[in-house]
Structure 1
Amino acid sequence: MQTEKQFISSGQLQILVILFTCGSSILLIPPALIQAKNDGWISGIIGLMFGILIVLLYIKLSKVIVNKTIYEANEQIFTKWLGKFVNILYFLFFFFLSAQVLSNMGDFVTQSIMIETPKEYIHLLFLLPIVYGVKQGLEVISRLAEIVFPTFILLFVLFALLLLPDIELSHFEPIGESGIKNILHYSLPFLSLPFLEFIAFLILIPHVNTEVNVTKMMIRGSMIGGGLLVVLTIWVIGVLGVQVASMYAYPTFLLAKQINIADFLQRFEVLIAAIWIISLFVKLLITYYVSCAGICSLFSVKNVNLVALPMGIILWYLGNIVYPSSAYFTEFIKISLSYKLIFGIGMPLLTLMVIKVRKMKFPESSG
């Protein structure tokens, strides 16, 4: 951890939540939701509602452990050595998640933009500023998110408006054809990506300089980010149709190629690429930061600078091998919900249960 505790504002927290929510989900959630066919947007709304409940669980836990990160609290809740074991599990979850996010970036760029470029070089180019950003600390990461956020929103709004005339309402008919069972089933990927990953914010929330707006900012950020993903899914279904969209790994990127204004303004796929890279960059900054914070907690290292670079080298290697192929990634996504439920719901509920059984109270730290 940093020698001196760093603080962020509640507004910066909201921006981090929005960008984290969108992150890799911008490209991965629409193809997952359209498995419910033309009812994919309904699955998205249901998934968002359940996702907010998960966020409320994390907010509840953050209020119970009062100004402590989940790493710091675990050693008190589960005793020192058992707490360290739990922290190792959390660290592995966050570090593997970082490798997944990095691999998502490499897969997208090498499959859609720079086809002949080796994935390893894309990862290295993307990872160098990530390591540098983590070395600068949470305050710098938050300020960066604050700076790029207006560009992210502007590009998203421009992207949506340019495609608005191409939406065909017939692509949504008949509503409810998939059946309630399928609609509910295909809302689950929305929980896996990104809401069950929100547990990372249990490391960031103690750094917010005011507790007054944390709940509001977390909920609002989740709803805005999730809402953007639902809108994107509606646009994919409305413009491309389910049959066409389901044939592509990245229908959102294909969507951008449909923009054509008077046969003059074309090739707008750079918009969706820029939107995704901005949000993915911030998400990887967060996941890698909490991974480094985990190592600092496990080995009592006071400065994250000492671990950021060596951990970055390991992350680069892991990112290159975590998904050997696109087929492997597709299969992995189907089973990832299982272990994310353990970390995202099971462990927080167990933590709250142990706190209640032991009747523990956490005194507020002076910061």
Structure 2
Amino acid sequence: MITNSNSISKLQLYFFIIQSQIGIGLLALPNAVETTTKGDGWISTLVAGLAVQITIIIYWLLLRKYPNAIYTEITKKILGKYVGKLCNLFIFIYFIMIGSLACALFIRTISLWLLPLTPMWVLSLIIILSSIYLTISDLRIISRFFVLGSILIILLFFLSFFTFYLPKDFGFMLPVGQSGVKNILMGSHKSLLSMLGFESILLIFPFILDSEKGILKTASFANLTVTLFYTYFTLICLISFSPTQLLQIREPVLYIFKVLSFEMIDRLDLIFLSVWIVPMTTSVIIYMFLSAKSISKENSFKKNVILSGILIFIITIFPYDEDQLALFNKYVTYLSYVVVFGLPIILFCLSFIISKTERSEQL
């Protein structure tokens, strides 16, 4: 049942989407796109943002047909009870897998940069317990936390201005378009994975206190903010490191702060990462929330949050090496294309056909 206590405003929606999209993927994004796009990585990020925007519009067109139903109810209405439930289980598995990937990457980064001697399972347990504590709250409390957490993103944006003390070479970006359309599109594929999280709209749409057009505008503005944010940091790394250096540095966004040193402030990379722990944690919270929501009835949400947390913890305590983590990332990427892009488009097409058929029968 949707009530005012679990509804969110359009301002909370804006920051909810921002926190959903911005996370661990930012740190390695410039390195990921450099492998295919060279100096055109910033273009790939913009293309990925455009793809996300088109997908958000498709979500909106689908969800406005069923304004009072959550996404998992829509799947059963369109596909039927049994196929819909099977589809919802598949969605649940996706959210568990991508939440586990986000948590595993989070743990790896913290272990490499901050706490190299702390066992992986301890880091995972701390992250999971803190995420469960917030996720079992209602949507409004989670959204309020995301609004407060977004202040740290603004802080990090201003912190990035210190990087302009480093030498910059805009020649690393030239000539624009040098990598070709094919490579730019391949780079946008890698950028797209870092921007995932906007699919949260599918499960929170009925809980937003705004008009249908207002929801679309807010979601679009949030996506624009995230796209420009990612493009900005990609540009900074592109003009700060040579192509060869960028290919060798796994987390260039962190490394660019590491080389900075001031008389009163040292190791800005550790300051950046310590603050960035909050956006990385919100990524885990988001997917834990969405996974529980995708299979929950009215009174089972808290139990399903705990179940989701246990599953994510079990998956993340496996000792992944770099190759295994890359393979895990690859499989989750394929799964995301099916659940985030393919399934909603299929449902929208089927809903359009159903609506047309119903109108024809009425005539």
TM-score, normalising length: structure 2: 0.91
**Alignment partners' CA distance in 2, 1:336 and 1:96:** 7
Tell me whether 147-156 or 83-92 shows the greater mean CA deviation: 147-156
Question: What amino acid is aligned across from residue 320 of structure 1 in structure 2?
Answer: I
**Alignment partners' CA distance in 1, 2:191 and 2:308:** 29
Q: CA deviation at 1:264?
A: 4.5
The 8 Å contact of residues 98 and 332 in structure 2, kept in 1 or not, is answered as no
Report SS of the residue matched to 1:132.
Answer: helix
Q: CA deviation at 1:271?
A: 3.5
Q: CA deviation at 1:12?
A: 0.6
Q: CA deviation at 1:60?
A: 1.9
Tell me whether 80-89 or 21-30 shows the greater mean CA deviation: 21-30
Report SS of the residue matched to 1:176.
Answer: coil
The 8 Å contact of residues 27 and 276 in structure 1, kept in 2 or not, is answered as no
Q: CA deviation at 1:200?
A: 2.6
Matches of residues 207-246 of structure 1 in structure 2 within 5 Å? 207-211=207-211, 212-246=213-247
Tell me whether 166-175 or 109-118 shows the greater mean CA deviation: 166-175
The 8 Å contact of residues 22 and 194 in structure 2, kept in 1 or not, is answered as no
Equivalent in the alignment of 2:82? 81
**Alignment partners' CA distance in 1, 2:298 and 2:91:** 17
Matches of residues 93-172 of structure 1 in structure 2 within 5 Å? 93-158=94-159, 160-166=160-166, 167-172=168-173
Equivalent in the alignment of 2:10? 10
Runs of 5+ in structure 2 lacking a partner? 359-363
The 8 Å contact of residues 52 and 222 in structure 1, kept in 2 or not, is answered as yes
Q: Count residues in correspondence.
A: 355
**Alignment partners' CA distance in 1, 2:351 and 2:293:** 23
CA distance 1:94–1:334, change in 2 (3 Å): closer
The 8 Å contact of residues 24 and 280 in structure 1, kept in 2 or not, is answered as yes
Question: What amino acid is aligned across from residue 316 of structure 1 in structure 2?
Answer: F
**Alignment partners' CA distance in 2, 1:360 and 1:70:** 21
**Alignment partners' CA distance in 2, 1:180 and 1:87:** 36
The 8 Å contact of residues 22 and 226 in structure 1, kept in 2 or not, is answered as no
Summarize deviations over 1:69-94 as a string: whole Å, max 9, x none. 11121121111111111111111111
**Alignment partners' CA distance in 2, 1:69 and 1:23:** 25
**Alignment partners' CA distance in 2, 1:201 and 1:335:** 23
**Alignment partners' CA distance in 2, 1:7 and 1:125:** 29
Question: What amino acid is aligned across from residue 50 of structure 1 in structure 2?
Answer: A
Equivalent in the alignment of 1:284? 284
1:349 to 340, 345, 348: 345
Equivalent in the alignment of 2:309? 312
The 8 Å contact of residues 292 and 311 in structure 1, kept in 2 or not, is answered as yes
**Alignment partners' CA distance in 1, 2:133 and 2:255:** 33
The 8 Å contact of residues 113 and 270 in structure 2, kept in 1 or not, is answered as no
Matches of residues 191-202 of structure 1 in structure 2 within 5 Å? 191-195=192-196, 197-202=197-202
Two-structure CA RMSD over aligned residues (Å): 2.3
CA distance 1:2–1:312, change in 2 (3 Å): farther
Summarize deviations over 1:89-113 as a string: whole Å, max 9, x none. 1111111111111111111111222
Question: What amino acid is aligned across from residue 164 of structure 1 in structure 2?
Answer: F
Q: CA deviation at 1:360?
A: 8.0
**Alignment partners' CA distance in 2, 1:177 and 1:311:** 45
Report SS of the residue matched to 1:229.
Answer: helix
Q: CA deviation at 1:361?
A: 11
**Alignment partners' CA distance in 2, 1:315 and 1:5:** 28
Q: CA deviation at 1:194?
A: 2.1
Question: What amino acid is aligned across from residue 347 of structure 1 in structure 2?
Answer: L
Equivalent in the alignment of 2:361? none
Are residues 1:339 and 2:335 paired?
A: yes
Q: CA deviation at 1:275?
A: 4.5
**Alignment partners' CA distance in 2, 1:5 and 1:72:** 21
**Alignment partners' CA distance in 1, 2:132 and 2:155:** 27
Equivalent in the alignment of 2:267? 267
**Alignment partners' CA distance in 2, 1:334 and 1:16:** 26
Q: CA deviation at 1:115?
A: 1.2
Question: What amino acid is aligned across from residue 60 of structure 1 in structure 2?
Answer: L
Question: What amino acid is aligned across from residue 308 of structure 2 in structure 1?
Answer: M
